[in-house]
Amino acid sequence: MTLINRRTFVRGAAVASLAAPLVSRGALAQGSSGSVNIFAWAGYVSDELLAAFEKATGIKAVYTPYGTNDELLNQMRASNGSGYDIIWPSVDRVPNYVEFGLLQPIDDSKVEWDRVLPSAAKNSETLGAVVDGKRYQVPTDWGTEALAFDQNDMPLEYGTASYGDIWKPESAGKATVRGHSSLVGLALWLESEGKLPHPFIDSYKDEAVMRANFDVITAEAIARKGNIIQFWSNENEAQGAFRTNGAKIGQTWDSSAAGLQKEGLPVGFIAPKEGALAWMEGISIPVGAANIDQAYAFLNWLLTPEAGAMYSTHTSINSTAVGAEAHLPEASRNFFAAAYPGDALEKLWWWPIQENWYVALRGEYQDKFLSA
């Protein structure tokens, strides 16, 4: 596993923001005509963002949402990489698209790289954005999956909070998780307890090791399945678990908890002692993209400080745009500080590259857990 010190991101942002020049509207408006078709995660692209992009560039953006990485990959395979100019996969899944010939290499000459946090650009190379020496994604955002909790009924504190809190007897009938990622959180807890036969990270490297570990992990998950009041697979479902279905604790995305906080609900979010599951995403261009110049225009505009902050404020997901943090509202800055106190940024657990064989087996174990 490649571990990335998130403080490198913070330092990179501070240094780069001092040197980042303001970009004129004229520079943004290169190729300022036509349209761009964006296939992105549900909730990622707001009407406000689309309108601001069109005003800045003259390009009409059409947004279609999807709910999961698997949905995106299946759609791209079905269309042979056509129908959209921009897609937004998680960086660890990019090699899956390359294997099926669905992406075109990024043209570095068309990317305003000085707008991207240098640490994000560099670290994305080993997380999946670069395959066989060619880059297929430009990082645009990052976030985590960690512990959401009811601050009144099940308060958690950094340093003692653990993925194990989801699976303990006190959480019976009160927890919400996503199928496959909950097995990873459970694995990290079991590993910290010395209960896995092999180092968990080796599950991503060898099928026999993966099976040996996941046999133990899945058996434990099935034995404790009574703790789960609702499974989620997208943002709306994760939030609904807390909003209406009685969840008091869960393993959710940071943006899910932040959205509930914005509604005034007493939901906190904190990194567990095993490390928050960290992911990076970005923009890739399918092989069948019809509006290439417009796709790069959207990418470069999204990486301006103002657009990055607009995106982060709407989604509660962190932008890789240099200087975006200076434009964030106070509530967003406070949420970040509460979620990652102390050494939490240094202990992030980055999703490693998930090759197609691993994704297939992961699905088998998830299905075994869900159907038990």
Question: For the chain, which domains are there?
Answer: 6-142+280-329 (3.40.190.10), 144-277+347-371 (3.40.190.10)
Task: Judge whether residue 31 has pLDDT over 60.
Answer: no
Let me know: does 7 contact 279? Beta carbons within 8 Å. Answer: no
CB 115 within 8 A of CB 300: yes
The pTM of this model reads: 0.80
Task: Give the phi and the psi of residue 258 in degrees, each rounded to 5.
Answer: -60, -40
Q: What is the DSSP letter of 347?
A: G
Residues 77-82: contacts with CB within 8 Å, 24+ apart? 77/102, 79/288, 80/287, 80/288, 81/286, 81/287, 81/288, 82/286, 82/287, 82/288, 82/289, 82/290
> Residue 12: pLDDT above 50?
no
Residue 181 has pLDDT above 60, yes or no: yes
Helix (H) and strand (E) counts in the chain:
15, 13
pLDDT of the residue at 309: 96
Amino acid at 254: D
16: confidence class by pLDDT, cuts 50, 70, 90: very low
Q: What is the pLDDT of residues 50-74, one digit of tens each?
A: 999 999 999 999 999 999 999 999 9
Question: Per residue in 192-234, pLDDT tens?
Answer: 999 999 999 999 999 999 999 999 999 999 999 999 999 999 9
Q: Which residue has the tokens 């800055």?
A: 333
What pLDDT does residue 56 have? 96
Q: Which has the minimum average pLDDT: 10-14, 17-21, 76-80, 132-136? A: 17-21
Of 129, 215, 300, the C-alpha closest to 207 is 215
Q: Mean pLDDT over residues 164-175, rounded?
A: 98
* Torsion-angle region of 172 (φ positive above 0: left; ψ -120 to 50: alpha; else: beta): beta
Round to whole Å and give the CA distance between 313 and 96: 30
168 residue type, one letter:
K
pLDDT in tens, 310-333: 999 999 899 999 999 889 999 988
- The sign of the torsion formed by the CA atoms of 260, 348, 91, 117 equals positive
- Give the whole-angstrom CA distance, residue 276 versus residue 273: 8
Model confidence at 13, in pLDDT bands (50, 70, 90)?
Answer: very low
Q: Is the pLDDT of residue 19 over 80?
A: no
| pLDDT attached to residue 151 | 98
Query: Which of 322, 328, 6, 345 lies closest to 146, judged by CA?
Result: 345
Assigned token pair, 121: 């650009």
Q: What is the largest CA-CA distance in the chain?
A: 61
Structure tokens at 237: 């479902």
DSSP annotation string for 70-136: HHHHHHHHHTTSBS-SEE--BGGGHHHHHHTT-BPPP-GGGS-GGGB-HHHHHHHIIIIIEETTEE-
Measure the CA–CA gap between 254 and 335, rounded to whole angstroms.
Answer: 9
Pairing of strands 35-41, 60-66: parallel
Mean pLDDT of the chain: 91
Of the CA atoms within 13 Å of residue 27, those in its CB half-sphere come to 10
**pLDDT reported for residue 220:** 98
Query: Alpha carbon 237 to chain centroid distance?
Result: 16
